[in-house]
Amino acid sequence: GQNIDQPTEMTATEGAIVQINCTYQTSGFNGLFWYQQHAGEAPTFLSYNVLDGLEEKGRFSSFLSRSKGYSYLLLKELQMKDSASYLCAVSGSYNTDKLIFGTGTRLQVFP
């Protein structure tokens, strides 16, 4: 079967660092995505990893280990506006590019 697991909720303090983990078991793998979704709004693209290692983009970084079926999203210098849900999604096939989404991690940032 296909399964993507991530924590349901996390909390953190403004200015801190938080790591959101995602583990996956899929029949194929053609990359892992992280999306940010503010309440009631559309998901927006944050990152894409297809090779092992860390991809850094400003305050956000994403890591992938294909052998472990594991990824994390690292958010540094947290701001109040980072309060949102973070969706992990796996592309299982090159030809179809269909995404399988996890249920999302709701992050609340407190002052």
Q: Position of tokens 């559309």?
A: 42
Q: Is position 104 an interface residue for another protein (rule: CB under 8 A)?
A: yes
Sign of CA dihedral 99, 47, 106, 24: positive
Question: By CB under 8 A, which span of 14-22, 39-47, 54-62, 69-77 interacts with another protein?
Answer: 39-47
**Does 42 sit near another protein (CB under 8 A)?**
yes
- Separation between Cα atoms, residue 28 and residue 9, nearest integer Å: 27
Among 7, 10, 26, 48, binds another protein (CB under 8 A): 48
Q: Are 105 and 11 in contact (CB under 8 A)?
A: no
Residues lying near another protein in the complex (CB under 8 A) are found at 31, 33, 40-45, 48, 50, 87, 89, 91, 96-99, 101-104
